[in-house]
Structures are given as structure tokens and as C-alpha cells.
Structure 1
Amino acid sequence: MASAAGEADEVLMERINDKGLITLNRPKALNSLNLSMVRKIYPQVKLWEEDPSISMVIIKGTGDKAFCAGGDVVAITEAGKTCDPFTQHFFKEEYILNNAIGTLQIPWIALIDGVTMGGGVGLSVHGHYRVATERTLFAMPETAIGLFPDVGGGYFLPRLGGKLGIYLALSGFRLKGRDVQRAGVATHFVESSQISLLEKDLLNLTSPKAKDIDDILQKYHQQSSRDADKEFVLKPHMNEINRLFSGHRLEDIFAALEREGSEWASKQLATLKKMSPTSMKVTLLQLQRGAELSLQDDLEMEYRLSQRFVEDKDFYEGVRAVLVEKDQKPKWNPPTIYEVDEEHVEHYFSPLPPERELHL
């Protein structure tokens, strides 16, 4: 009974008057998302959406460290080693939830106070409002573990403006605090000391319209002065990012960084050379194609990618090196971008057997 109770408490869902409140409740695991949580959140979100008396849904994390640090990739690799269908269920059901958030007919307000990566991005970025604080740490670090920026990364990253999304996806660069809002990932910035008051004011609204929610969020945003005088951390390098990360092929980006030769460019090149070559090649093509797709079509494409990564080697090696043994020395196969076969990259995007496809 203890384990069942613990599982039930991993995510808390409450109805407060005409509002739905979701609390991710795994603070020791940085509120990381597992399949049982997805299976609790999705049906509740659909019930609230169909209930004409529900005016908004707020989602937050327990504790002061994380909103949601990602999905349970260690469990996925363990299942993948034995061809357990869990690897199909997790990605499919997670992406169905991401799409439900992205198509929700009522306001979805994510309070992304703390670490927000991977699966946590999927629970927030497709919603109407994302409120960052000075504790927010956003990244899509998947190329470092032999994966790709999923949960709709192919859709939202290329829409951040210029080549910022490609840079973030390939390098795993971490955005902090107000910079998460300046990059376009968050819609508002509110100091963490004010988040509980913001939540209370939202919950106290009576039959709110969109403008009422906008007004409260904007009020708290404008009242938050922390780091307001600092420029966006990547502003000094945006011209370089837009120029050097514009190559159609990953080899073009590497060559541009090498030619540039500046300290910053050399540092970026060194970072990229640590990532999975296969992951980076697939990721670049994912974002190029995702830029032209709807969220639904992108998630269907990403589901194919997820299943190909589970079938390949680098994902297991990356999780081993970064998350399990933590020696930070993954042995990628192949070891360089120049040895990654283009046909192999295209294979990642190829159709799955019809009964295994994701249909949104």
C-alpha cells in the first residue's frame, strides 16, 4: 500500500472553485515526469477542458528547486534494453499530453519556478502562459545524452527567432531567470517571492476572462525589477549565432565556427564536439523540418525519432555516461559528425509500422 500511496502522491490535482490546480510532487527527483504521472494528468486535463465551469488550469512543482527537471530517461533506457513496450507507451502518452496542452481551449498557466528541462518544457512551453522566476533554469540538453530535444522541441525551438533555437538545441546552453523570458520561452518573469501571491490572486479571480488573467500576470511582471537592467545573456552573441548557426548541414556549422576562430566560437565548437554526432545531425534536421510543421505533425515526427533512438546505441551510452555512472566520457558511435551516414539520419525520420505510429 505504501508504494501505491506514494505513486498517487506524485502529482496532486485539485479543483479550487472554477480553477484546476496541478502540482508535480516529486521534489527529491526534481519533479521529473514519469508515466504514471502522465496517465493521471492527461485524463484530468481533458475532463477540465470539457467542463464549461473551469476557467483555467495552473501547473506548478513542489519545492524551490524545480518545476520539472525532465522525463525519466533512465527508466526508458532500462526498458529499452529488454525491448519492453514501456518505451513506446511513455513517449506516445507524453506527446499526447503535450498536444493536449498545446490545443487546450482554456488558459494553461505554468509556474516554471526552478529547473525546467526536457519533459518539464513539454508541460509548459505549449501552454498559454509560462511564468519564469530568478530560479528558473531552462535547457534542452538532450544531445549530451544521445537523444534529441523532443516534447515538441522541433516546433517551438525554430520559432524563437533567428537561429537561437538551433543554437540552444545543439549546444544545450542553459538560460537562467529573466533570460528565459527574454528568449521567448517564458511569457512573463515574476520574482519567486511573489509566486505564491500571484497564484493566490489567480485562484481568487471570479469567472475570469483572458484579459483578467493577462492583467494580473502583467502586473506581477512589471513589479518584478530583479535583473531588469541586465541585457539578455546571449545578446552580445546573437549576430554570431544567427550567422554561424545558419548552415543547412551540421558540417557547415562546424566549418563556420572553425573559420570564425574567436574565443566564443572556439568555445561553442568545443562544446558541440562533446555531444552525440548522431543526435546533433538528427536534431538539426528535426528543427529544419519542424519549422514548417504544425505541433501535431511535429510530435508525430518526433515519436518516430524517439523510437529510432531507443533502437540505436548513443542514447544508452549517453545516459550511462552522464546520468548513471557519471564519468562524463561517452563513447559515441560513430565518434565524429563526418562519419554519420546521411541515410542513417534519414532512417530516424522514416515511418514506423502503421500500428505503432502516433496519430494526433
Structure 2
Amino acid sequence: MVRRLEEVLAEWRKRDLTAVLIDSTDARAFCAGGDIRAIRENTLAARYAESEEFFATEYRVNATLAAYPHPVVALIDGVCMGGGLGLSVHGPFRVVTDAAVFAMPETGIGFFPDIGASHFLPRLPGAIGMYLGLTGHRVGAAEALEVGLATHYSPAEKAGQIPELLRERGERSVDEVLRQVAGAPDRPSELAAHRGEIDHCFGAASLAEIRGRLAASATPWARDTLATVDRMSPASLAVTFDLLTRGRERSLAECLDAELRAGRVVTRSADFVEGVRAVLVDKDKSPRWASEYTSDKGVRG
């Protein structure tokens, strides 16, 4: 699929287009991400080159969308996780409906947020990006609009009009067209109530300090969030923290290159093989991480 996307985008670059719309024919999801089970199978069979080819191609598509000569509009009506954000967030227009759900849940499978996440997550307001990257927290339409993962909202019943409106937009801007079907999400943002705690805890200078601030807080949110962090792969948390911290100073191309290098190591790790097994293969949701967290020495394993 990513190879075909790359071919189509290269072909369409030469055409005179009013816009490029990225949509899904699945009622449940915009894109639930890459086939991580296949990557695990490649690791077990030592087919490392196949995994590298997939990630390299996927990341080229991400970079292409970020610099595409035609307006790119992602219509997100359903789950948008992992690679789904790579197909949407790098473009200038991201339209969400009330069914939209965004997440980067990679630390829970022994991986890390990739597809340029080390570029866009650190650029979200405050410490929201670090919070989403480490915990895999899911955000809905209102939260996505609030933090900038989405740019426009449309009620589901009007979203179907967007392709034809774009086709006939004439001299109007894409923004004008999308405002025709705009509205307000049915559910308010839940992030706003915790923004102070998120920025305080996840704005800390190290993973150990993040855990320390969460542990020191007496709120139910902090207690639940610490429990979430402690369920994740310690090695994945360390890689994610490092990539997001450094990503603030890197270009998208530099971030994608760093993620590709990190992926070569992480996809061969015991935590990755075990995490994918527990969540996506056997689905027992009980990974036994090879790495461990120690407050005095960080992560080992």
C-alpha cells in the first residue's frame, strides 16, 4: 500500500489538481496503522531488509505529503493511529468528525511513535506531545482540534459533501470550502481539564522526573497516568523520550532519518517481539518486558 501511495503521489504531482483528498472506505477507521505483525514476523525470520524497505517507503510518503505541491486534505472519520497520523498530520488540512480517534500507542507494543512523530509531537502545545507519545492516550475530535492535530471539524452527515465541494472549488481556498461544512464537536475536550498537570508532569527534564511528579501528585488522573506509563515497555519509553526531546530541534527530514535508524534496532529487540505478541498476536495484553526501569540507573535490559 505504501509503495502504491508513493507511485500515485509521484504521478499526481504532475497534474493540475484542485486538491488531493485522503479518505477511507472503512467505516471504522481512517487508518489504524502499519502491519506491525508482519514486521514482527520479519524479525523472527531475520528478514530485516523487508522491514527496512517498508519503513523507508512509508517515511518517504510522509515527507512527500509534507511538501506536496497540491493542497492535501485528510478526511478522518474513525480511528487514526500510528501510520494513520503519518498519512494525515503532515498535510495542511485535517478534517475530523465526531468518530475521529487519534493515538500513537507504540510504547505499549515495544516500539516508539514514528512516521515523523518526533517532529510533530514536540510542536504541540506545552507538554501534550510528550504525554501522548509516552502514554498512547487517545484523543477525540475536540482534543485534536484543541492541540492542532486536526484543522477543521465537520459533522459526519456533511463530510460526504467534501469531495464534490473540493472538485468544484474554483477560485475559493480550500479553507473556505471546508468552512462550508464546519460545525462544533458533540463532545467537549477532556484534555483541557488536565492541561496544568500534563504540562507540569510531562514537561520534566527526564523520565525519572516525569514518574516522580506523577507519583507526587494526589489526583486520580496522575495515579491512573502513572499506572499507564508503568505498563509500557521501559526501553520504548526511553527511546520515545529521547526522540521527542531531540526532535524539537530537528527538521522533519532529520526526524524521519533518526526514526529509521532507531527502528533498525528496536524492531529486533525482545521487547518489540513480546509487545506485538501480547497486544496483536495472542492478545493476552500481558507483555513480559525484557527491559526494566530503575530509578537510579534509568532503563536497562
Q: 1:76 maps to what in 2?
A: 39
2 CA distance for matches of 1:212 and 1:258?
49
Task: Give yes or no for the alignment of 1:236 onto 2:197.
Answer: no
Partner AA of 1:262 in structure 2: T
Kindly indicate whether the alpha-carbon contact (under 8 Å) linking 1:171 and 1:272 is maintained by their aligned counterparts in 2. Answer: yes
Q: Distance in 2 between matches of 1:219 and 1:182?
A: 20
Q: In the TM superposition, what is the alpha-carbon distance from 1:128 to its structure 2 partner?
A: 1.1
Deviation string for 1:226-273 (max 9, x for gaps)?
42xx54211111011101111121011001111112211111000110
| SS of the residue 2:231 aligns to | coil
Contact 2:141–2:150 (Cα < 8 Å) also in 1: no
- Counting only pairs closer than 5 Å after superposition, residues 253-332 of structure 1 correspond to structure 2 as 253-332=210-289
Output the CA distance in 1 between the equivalents of 2:300 and 2:257.
20
Q: CA deviation at 1:338?
A: 4.0
- In structure 2, distance between residues paired with 1:91 and 1:117: 16
Supply the distance in 2 between the matched residues of 1:93 and 1:83 (Cα, whole angstroms): 19
1:215 corresponds in structure 2 to: 176
Partners of 1:248 and 1:166 in 2: CA distance: 11
**Runs (5+) with no aligned partner, structure 1:** 1-36, 345-360
1:56-113 deviation line (CA, Å, top 9, x unaligned): 1111000321110000000010011122121110111100111001111210100011
Q: Distance in 2 between matches of 1:267 and 1:93?
A: 37
Match of 2:70 among 106, 109, 133: 106
- 3-state SS of paired residue (2:23): strand
Contact 1:154 1:291 in 2 (8 A): yes
2:7 — aligned with what? 43
Tell me by how many angstroms 1:219 deviates. 2.4
Structure 2 SS opposite 1:329? coil
Q: TM-score, normalised by structure 2?
A: 0.95
SS class of match (1:336): strand
Partner of residue 5, structure 1: none
Alignment of 1:151-190 (within 5 A): 151-190=115-154
User: 1:339/1:313 Cα in 2 relative to 1: closer, same or farther (>3 Å)?
Assistant: farther
Q: Percent identity?
A: 39
In structure 2, C-alpha distance between the alignment counterparts of 1:45 and 1:216, rounded to whole Å: 23
Q: Which residue of 1 aligns with 2:107?
A: 143
Question: Contact 2:97 / 2:185 at 8 angstroms: preserved in 1?
Answer: no
Letter in 2 for 1:329: S
Q: Contact conserved, 1:133 with 1:178, CA < 8 A, in 2?
A: no
Q: Hey, which bits of structure 1, 4+ residues long, moved more than 3 A?
A: 337-344
Give me the whole-angstrom Cα distance separating, in 1, the residues matched to 2:176 and 2:206. 44
Match of 2:162 among 194, 198, 202: 198
Contact 1:145–1:315 (CA<8 Å) still a contact in 2?
Answer: yes
Partner in structure 1 of residue 208 of structure 2: 251
Contact 2:101 2:141 in 1 (8 A): yes
Of 90, 93, 100, the match for 1:129: 93
Distance in 1 between the 2:99 and 2:107 partners?
24
Q: 1:253 to 1:44 in 2, by over 3 A?
A: same
Letter in 2 for 1:71: G
Partner of 2:29: 66
1:191–1:251: structure 2 CA closer, same or farther, 3 Å change rule?
A: same
Which of the pair has the greater relative contact order for Cα pairs under 8 Å at 6+ separation?
A: 2
Unmatched runs of 5 consecutive residues or more in structure 2: none
1:248 and 1:94 map into 2 onto residues whose CA distance is 31
* Pairwise CA distance, 1:292: 0.8
Q: In structure 1, what is the Cα distance between the partners aligned to 2:138 and 2:294?
A: 23
Measure, in 2, the Cα distance between the counterparts of 1:337 and 1:199: 52
Q: Which amino acid aligns with 1:310?
A: T
- Counterpart AA for 2:245: Q
Residues in 1 aligned to 2:40 and 2:261: alpha-carbon distance in whole angstroms: 16
Partner Cα distance (1:112, 1:159) in 2: 21
TM-score (norm 1): 0.80
Paired positions, count? 300
